Amino acid sequence: MRLLFFVAVASSIVQAQPLNWDVFTYSVPIGWQRSVQGGSVELREIDGPRFCQIGLIKSVAGTGDAQQDFYKDWATLVAKPYRAPNRQPSPGQDIGNWRALFATVNATLPPTGNFDVTMHTYSAPSQVATVLLLGNHVGCSPHFREFLANLRLANGPGNVSLPPQMMGTADGQADIRSANIEDWRVEIQAEGVRFTRGNIIAFQFYNVPLDDRLRSGDTGLNFWNLIVPRSYRVLSQTPLEEESFSYSKNYAVTGQVADKAGRRYAAFLSTEIADGIGTPFLSIAPDEGSLRNAFPNAESLRRMRRFNYFPVSRAELAGRWTSSFSSAAETYYVSTGNFAGLAVASANVDFNFSANGTYTLDVQAVTGRIGNLNVGRERRQGTFEVEGNTLILRRSNGEVEVFNCGLLALRGGKALRIVNRKYATDRWDLLRAK
């Protein structure tokens, strides 16, 4: 039974750390309770009548259609147990090749009372995995956001290989600027990444800070006027209804444009706004029918970003790549409300790939509360092989690790993404050290 109900049961307090269950890799919010009940994992925080709860539902065979998967699970997991009406799903934050859809409804059940239920489904070609979020106060939202941002899904049976495979490259080639990715030709250009397939063009522009000029008035039209006239003469423009997603907003404009030779095209600009940054996606086609067939909605255009993932050669990999992050959160005792300390976590990863085929990896991590911090350090070393989108690390202790790897075009350079094929949480996004 793939059901989840709110129940208050005794279970141990679990600290935030990566855990694996079914296809999920997740972290338990600090201070929350965790229990495993057959077909689900339940995480909860209870403070008198206030509660937040996250449920991971064991994956099952999917239909191959993300919307059908969503409606099937909504009927079973939300509509029936919580007596909730049907909801039209919205696109969520995809995880790898798992397509995400979500919807929210308000429910009332005795003795729990009134609370919100949000269901996220993640669909792969032959699987569907589901997450339920339940809460009756606004304090749940930051926990839910952080949990979903760190959620990872394994590359289960029947899934498309993650990430998509590219054409191999000669070992000595450096500064790769173009590749064939599935049936798209992808090129790095000065203002972003260009995708071409037949007579269809899509362009992912590099991130644009959202300043007062872009905020003032119609944000979607402001981005249109900033970007489109650079290359085309605008013949018409129509803002579309704003689309809202999990943790971002989307602005869309459609119109007719002409190039310098007078040839007319249909154009669609979708700009995603998150954390004060705009990411514009422009698509161009000879006519509106061709455009809609290639990109039926803004989400289908945004999914093109997964093709910004170029092959890696030894020559371009050679050098030092680093990544670091840090976070801090005030914690309080649930029973008293008293301040329990500042919880911090930070890590620094430093890869050094030599031209002779050897590498070193230095990792340093700090976790805990102020006044009681734990510091960990580790060094790995050995030899490496890289070709196309495969990186093999042979550690000096004999262990062999195989990774998917790729270069992501950024303004002013590239980032290196490395994902362990066996353990999806073993992943890094690294920048070349100056």
The reported pLDDT for the residue numbered 335 is 63
Residues of the chain with pLDDT under 50: 1-16, 156-172, 245-246
Distance CA 53, CA 370 (A): 28
User: Omega of the bond prior to 142 within 30 degrees of 0, cis?
Assistant: no
Order of strands across the sheet that contains 18-21: 18-21, 24-27, 152-153
The reported pLDDT for the residue numbered 369 is 62
The reported pLDDT for the residue numbered 375 is 65
The reported pLDDT for the residue numbered 251 is 87
- Domains parsed from the chain with CATH numbers: 18-153 (3.40.1000.10), 178-307 (3.40.1000.10), 314-432 (2.40.128.300)
The reported pLDDT for the residue numbered 171 is 43
Beta carbons within 10 angstroms of residue 54's beta carbon: 27
Q: What is the pLDDT of residues 384-408, one digit of tens each?
A: 998 888 899 999 988 888 888 999 9
86 neighbors 79 (Cβ within 8 angstroms): yes
Distance CA 48, CA 257 (A): 59
Q: What's the token pair of residue 403?
A: 């990774």
The reported pLDDT for the residue numbered 236 is 95
Q: What's the token pair of residue 421?
A: 């094929």
184 neighbors 194 (Cβ within 8 angstroms): no
The reported pLDDT for the residue numbered 371 is 60
Rg from Cα positions in the chain: 24
The reported pLDDT for the residue numbered 334 is 59
Write the secondary structure of the chain as one string of H (helix), E (strand) and C (coil).
Answer: CCCCCCCCCCCCECCCCEEEECCEEEECCCCCEEEECCCEEEEEEEECCEEEEEEEEEEEECCCCHHHHHHHHHHHHHHHHHCCCCCCCEECCCECCEEEEEEEEEEEECCCEEEEEEEEEEEECCEEEEEEEEECCCCHHHHHHHHHHHCEECCCCCCCCCCCCECCCCCCCCCCCEEEECCEEEEEECCEEEEEECCEEEEEECCEECCHHHHCCCHHHHHHHHHHHHCCEEEEEEECCCEECCCCEEEEEEEEEECCCCCEEEEEEEEEEECCEEEEEEEEECCHHHHHHHCCCHHHHHHHHHHCCECECHHHHCEEEEEEEEEEEEEECCCCCCEEEEEEEEEEEEEEECCCCEEEEEEEEEEEECCEEEEEEEEEEEEEEEEECEEEEEECCCCEEEEEEEEEEECCEEEEEEEECCCCCCEEEEEECC
28 neighbors 15 (Cβ within 8 angstroms): yes
253 neighbors 239 (Cβ within 8 angstroms): yes
360 neighbors 371 (Cβ within 8 angstroms): no
**Sign of the dihedral through C-alpha 151, 121, 154, 360:** negative
Distance CA 407, CA 411 (A): 13
Rounded to the nearest angstrom, the gap between the alpha carbon of residue 400 and the centroid of all alpha carbons in its chain is: 27
**Sign of the dihedral through C-alpha 351, 420, 177, 229:** negative
Point out which residues pair with 368 in neighbouring strands.
344, 373
The reported pLDDT for the residue numbered 329 is 59
Beta carbons within 10 angstroms of residue 317's beta carbon: 21
Q: What is the pLDDT of residues 64-92, one digit of tens each?
A: 888 999 999 999 999 999 888 888 888 88
User: Omega of the bond prior to 229 within 30 degrees of 0, cis?
Assistant: no
Give the list of residues 6+ apart from residue 211 with CB closer than 8 angstroms, or none. none
Point out which residues pair with 30 in neighbouring strands.
none
The reported pLDDT for the residue numbered 420 is 84
79 neighbors 72 (Cβ within 8 angstroms): no
